[in-house]
Amino acid sequence: MMRFSVVINTYNRGKCLAQALDGLTRQTHPDFEVIVVNGPSTDGTAELLAGQAGRIRVGHCPEVNISMSRNIGIDMAAGDIVAFLDDDAVPEPRWLEELEAGYNHPDVGGVGGATYDHTGRRFQFRNGVANRLGEAVVNRDGPDWAYQIPGADPFACLLGANSSFRLDDLIAIGGFDEEIEYYLDETDVCVRLIDRGRLIKSVERAFVHHHYQPGHLRDERRIIRHPFPVVKNKLYFALTHGRPRYSLEEVLADARRLADAHKAQAMAVLARSELKDYLGQIERGLEVGLERGLRGERKSGRFRPREEVRREFLPYPTRRPRGRRLCICLVSQEYPPGNYGGIGRFTHDMAVGLAELGHEVHVVAATRGEPERTDYEAGVWVHRIDESSDAHPELAAWPVARRNLNRAAAVHREVRRLAEVRSLDIVQAPIWDCEGTLCQLDGPWKNVLSLQTTAAIAAALNPGWGASPAGQGALALERFTVQNAQWIHTISQEILDRVECDHAIRFERERVGLVPLGVEDRPADAGLESKPSTGGLVHVLFVGRLEKRKGIDVLLEAATRLLRRRSDVAFHIVGDDSLSGPDGQTYRQRFETSTDPSLLRRVFFYGRVPEAELAAHYARCDIFCAPSRYESFGLIYIEAMRFGKAVVGCRVGGVPEIIDHEVCGLLVPPDDPEALAAALERLVADASLRASLGEEARRRFQDHFTRQAMVQRIESFYQKMIA
Task: Read off the pLDDT of residues 587-603 as tens digits, 9 standing for 90 and up.
Answer: 999 999 988 888 999 99
Q: CB under 8 Å to 588, separation ≥6 — which residues?
A: 546, 573, 577, 605
The letter for the amino acid at 283 is: E
Strand order through the sheet with 327-331: 373-377, 380-385, 360-366, 327-331, 426-430, 446-451, 487-490, 512-514
Q: Please, are residues 32 and 60 in contact by the beta-carbon 8 Å criterion?
A: no
Q: What is the CATH number of the domain that holds 371?
A: 3.40.50.2000
Mean pLDDT computed over 527-540: 67
DSSP characters for 502-535?
HTT----GGGEEE----B---TTGGG-S-----T
How do residues 84-130 score in pLDDT, each as one tens digit? Answer: 999 999 999 999 999 999 999 999 999 999 999 989 999 999 999 99
Confidence check: pLDDT of 523 > 80: no
Specify whether 453 is located in the same domain as 567: no
Higher pLDDT, 326 or 296: 326
Q: Nearest CA to 639 among 559, 578, 549, 574?
A: 574
Q: Please, are residues 680 and 646 in contact by the beta-carbon 8 Å criterion?
A: no
Q: For residue 526, what pLDDT band results from cuts at 50, 70 and 90?
A: very low
Higher pLDDT, 366 or 306: 366
3-state secondary structure of 569: strand
| pLDDT score at 505 | 94
Specify whether 476 is located in the same domain as 544: no
Mean pLDDT computed over 545-564: 95
Q: Is 591 part of a structural domain of the chain?
A: yes
Biggest CA–CA distance in the chain, Å, is: 97
Q: Nearest CA to 432 among 297, 526, 333?
A: 333
| pLDDT score at 267 | 80
Instruction: Kindly report the number of other CB atoms within 10 A of residue 375's CB atom.
Output: 17
Torsion of CA 689, 692, 694, 699, to 10 degrees: -160
Q: For residue 583, what pLDDT band results from cuts at 50, 70 and 90?
A: confident
Higher pLDDT, 387 or 77: 77
How do residues 243-274 score in pLDDT, each as one tens digit? Answer: 888 999 999 999 999 888 888 887 887 788 78
Specify whether 510 is located in the same domain as 529: no
How do residues 453-464 score in pLDDT, each as one tens digit? Answer: 999 998 988 888
Percentage of residues in the chain having pLDDT higher than 90: 76
Specify whether 501 is located in the same domain as 587: no
Instruction: Kindly report the number of other CB atoms within 10 A of residue 158's CB atom.
Output: 26
Specify whether 8 is located in the same domain as 121: yes
Q: Is 571 part of a structural domain of the chain?
A: yes
Mean pLDDT computed over 501-512: 95
Q: Is 434 part of a structural domain of the chain?
A: yes
Mean pLDDT computed over 481-493: 96
Phi-psi domain of 526 (left: phi exceeds 0; alpha: psi -120 through 50; beta: other): left
Domain boundary among 214, 237, 256: 214
Specify whether 492 is located in the same domain as 536: no
Q: What is the CATH number of the domain that holds 208?
A: 3.90.550.10
Helices (H), 601-706: 611-620, 635-642, 673-685, 687-704
Phi-psi domain of 688 (left: phi exceeds 0; alpha: psi -120 through 50; beta: other): alpha
Q: Is 246 part of a structural domain of the chain?
A: no
Confidence check: pLDDT of 220 > 60: no
Specify whether 372 is located in the same domain as 470: yes
Domain boundary among 157, 186, 214: 214
| pLDDT score at 6 | 98
Specify whether 154 is located in the same domain as 200: yes
Q: For residue 213, what pLDDT band results from cuts at 50, 70 and 90?
A: low
Q: Is 77 part of a structural domain of the chain?
A: yes
Strand partners, 573: 542, 605
Q: Which helix (H) or strand (E) holds 351?
A: helix 342-356
| pLDDT score at 107 | 97
Higher pLDDT, 216 or 51: 51
235 alpha-carbon distance from chain centroid:
40
Distance CA 458, CA 715 (A): 30
Domain boundary among 214, 231, 254: 214
* Coarse DSSP helix, strand, coil percentages of the chain, rounded to the nearest 5 percent: 45, 20, 35
CA dihedral sign, ordered 518, 441, 436, 323: positive
| pLDDT score at 393 | 73
How do residues 622-664 score in pLDDT, each as one tens digit? Answer: 999 999 999 999 999 999 999 999 999 999 999 999 999 999 9
- What is the domain count for the chain? 3
Torsion of CA 223, 225, 229, 232, to 10 degrees: 90
Question: Where does residue 377 rank: exposed (0-12), middle (13-18), buried (19+ CB within 10 A)?
Answer: middle
Structural domain range at position 670: 525-705
Distance CA 189, CA 371 (A): 36
| pLDDT score at 525 | 47
Percentage of residues in the chain having pLDDT higher than 70: 96
Mean pLDDT computed over 401-416: 91
Specify whether 491 is located in the same domain as 566: no
Helices (H), 366-492: 399-421, 437-440, 455-461, 463-467, 469-483
Strand order through the sheet with 603-607: 603-607, 569-574, 538-543, 623-625, 646-650, 665-668
Mean pLDDT computed over 703-722: 95
Across the chain, what does the average pLDDT equal? 91
| pLDDT score at 723 | 87
Specify whether 363 is located in the same domain as 509: yes
Q: Is 110 part of a structural domain of the chain?
A: yes
Specify whether 113 is located in the same domain as 62: yes
How do residues 411-432 score in pLDDT, each as one tens digit? Answer: 999 999 999 988 999 999 999 9
Q: Nearest CA to 436 among 421, 425, 447?
A: 447
Mean pLDDT computed over 66-86: 97
Distance CA 696, CA 662 (A): 10
Q: How far is CA 641 from CA 615, 621, 622, 693, in A?
A: 12, 11, 11, 10
Confidence check: pLDDT of 146 > 90: no
| pLDDT score at 700 | 96
Long-range contacts of 499-508 (CB under 8 A, 24+ apart): 499/431, 499/451, 499/454, 499/456, 502/454, 502/456, 502/457, 503/456, 503/478, 503/479
Higher pLDDT, 524 or 608: 608
Q: Is 374 part of a structural domain of the chain?
A: yes
| pLDDT score at 309 | 86
Q: Is 533 part of a structural domain of the chain?
A: yes
Distance CA 504, CA 481 (A): 13
Asked if omega into 229 is within 30° of 0 (cis), the reply is: no
Specify whether 506 is located in the same domain as 557: no
